[in-house]
Chain A
Amino acid sequence: MKETVRKSVLAVGPFHPLQEEMEFFQLTIDGEKVTDIDVRLSYNHRGIEKISESLQFDQVPFLVSRVCGICSASHPLAYVQAVEELAGVKPPERALYVRTIINELERIHSHLLWVGLAGHFIGYDTVFMWAWKYREPVLDLLEEISGNRNQYGNVRVGGCRENVPNETIPKILKELDKIEKKTEMLTKAVLDDPVLHARLKGVGILKKEDAIKYAVTGPTARGSGVAIDVRRDDPYAAYGELDWNVISQPEGDVFAKAVVRLLETFESIKIVRQALKKLPEGPITTEVKQIPPGEGIGHVEAPRGETFHYVRSDGGNRPVRHKIRAPSYVNVPSFKASCIGQDIADVTITLAAVDPCYSCTERLATVDRHGSITHDGEALLQLSREKTQRIKKDIGATELKLEDF
């Protein structure tokens, strides 16, 4: 009798109703272990690079802030930096500080969002509720400054649109103290928890050499011991004048990435505080009359990693080419290195650890050879949560209660 090789395929995706990015992961599995991964994306390709060629230089920031709802400060900033480089424009000092403040507030809310989601996916819904609760005041601060909780639309070529009014500074500082205290409590609860140590350490390891080969950026790189950060390496806005640290961890597992993000949140709070105290007086914008022919590169450290923009002008009022690379574009392919050899129960959190504009997981479905669905998304999420429960029981950990804090 001929021996047949059974290959099971686990389909992850392709659609997530909550996030703007749709991805489809096809995992090949042998028992519980993942042996191969294939990614398909671009279910919702919006052709932003092509649309950008039909807009005027001043209109493009509004377009690119819609590349991603969470990084809606980073993309326009990278774009205007590219245009400012090609036009030789230097924005006023105060504008640089305002840009720094908005971008760091964005990082704080984005990292807290990730901590919450990560907690949710491994069955720690208390962490989810806390993190999202503490994220709210950050969004309120952003609204106070720019008029919007998201989609700030605040940068323009040559400066900023909205100022940080001097009279709001004490209020922001007070709010930051509160946020810092709560994040400290959350960080302590997460990092001291033996169950989380058991659940996340050694899971989804991205080795340093793979991090370099896949050219990953941001917390994904810094969690694998590659200490790169555009804010320090090619300082823009006001980062060169402020005192802060680049956080990196050598382990490369999910826990290391969580540590990097949590500790970075404190660095961001530190940056915003300094920027508010040093905020220089003066105008926030300079007049830019014409964009000459030429090319410019702007890159920015977004919450998920380096956002890279290239702009070319022929002297007209529209860019002739505008290339955008979001950090997930290089971070997502690294799953090939970090997921293979993992348990299925660990894949949800490994995929989430990169903090891609997260999609799909709720639409996980196991398909056997004949194409019939045997597990749906809920069941797979359940697998992940059951594993956490199992570890809890083995360790003998007690359930955390909100009243304990």
Chain B
Amino acid sequence: MNHQELNNRLSEIKNKLISIEQKSDKRIFLLCEAENSYAVNKFLFEDVKARFCIVTGIDSDDCFELLYHYSYDQTGCVITIKAFIRDRKNPAIESITPFLPAAEWIEREIHDILGIDFRNHPNMRRLILSDDWPDGVYPLRKDVSPNEAKELKK
């Protein structure tokens, strides 16, 4: 698939998206709500056959953002799904690990450090926080300063 074919392919899933932002030939962002992220991820991995890179979790002011980065290696294009989780009190999203085992660790990590719940994740144990880390403290949230996180580590 070349650039144009890839763009056509991506527009097939348009009805699940808020918008498509094309920053350059090599960087495409697909914006969607949390409830559609599972379908968009599945489409990108199974139909477009893009390679999963990683998920970036971000604590934005009014919501949480999960950025699922994929690389479409035939054209070297990095496609990013930007999913918005609007519920700050009980942030949750559908896990993509059932069809994409590569995402197991990063979903556990985001659960640890941002407190986002991944529904139907097969193995939601702690990955990076130690067993005696206090419940309900999520070190990557903006209300925890780096110094506070260091204190808690002791």
Contact = CB atoms under 8 A, between A and B. Distances in A.
A326 B65 CA distance: 21
B78 interface: yes
Contact of B53 (A53, A214, A299): A299
Given A308-B54, A321-B56, A50 B139 contact: yes
Contact of B51 (A41, A45, A228, A323): A228
Interface stretch (B1-9, B30-38, B86-94, B98-106): B98-106
Contacts of B51: 212, 215, 228
Given A50-B139, A310-B67, A215 B146 contact: no
A312 B56 CA distance: 11
Contacts of A374: none
A297 B80 contact: yes
Given A234-B76, A306-B53, A333 B102 contact: yes
Interface of B: 26-27, 51-54, 56, 58, 67, 69, 71, 73-78, 80, 100-102, 104-106, 127-129, 139-140, 146, 149-150, 153
A321 B55 CA distance: 13
26 contacts: A45-B128, A47-B146, A47-B150, A47-B153, A50-B146, A85-B27, A212-B51, A213-B101, A213-B102, A215-B52, A215-B53, A215-B102, A228-B51, A228-B73, A233-B75, A234-B26, A234-B78, A235-B76, A308-B69, A310-B67, A320-B58, A323-B56, A323-B67, A330-B53, A333-B104, A333-B105
A330 B103 CA distance: 9
Interface centre among A47, A51, A297 (most CB of B within 10 A): A297
Given A50-B139, A321-B58, A213 B78 contact: no
Given A47-B149, A333-B104, A333-B105, A297 B54 contact: no
Nearest to A234: B76
Given A323-B56, A330-B53, 18 more contacts: A47-B146, A50-B139, A51-B146, A85-B27, A212-B51, A213-B101, A228-B51, A228-B73, A233-B73, A233-B74, A234-B78, A297-B80, A310-B56, A310-B67, A325-B106, A329-B106, A330-B52, A333-B101
B29 to A, nearest CB: 8
Q: Which 4 A-B pairs have the closest CB atoms?
A: A234-B76, A215-B102, A42-B128, A323-B56
Interface in A196-214: 212-214
A193 interface: no
Contacts of B105: 329, 333
B53 to A, nearest CB: 5
A49 interface: yes
Nearest to B78: A297
A120 interface: no
B146 A41 contact: no
Given A47-B139, A53-B146, A213 B67 contact: no
B128 A41 contact: yes
Contacts of A308: 53-54, 69
Interface string A230-245: 1001110000000000
Given A42-B127, A299-B53, A330 B149 contact: no
A336 interface: yes
A297 B69 contact: yes
Contacts of B54: 308, 323, 325, 329-330
A233 B76 contact: yes
Nearest to A312: B58
A54 interface: yes
Contacts of A214: 101-102
B96 to A, nearest CB: 12
A259 B26 CA distance: 31
A47 B104 CA distance: 20
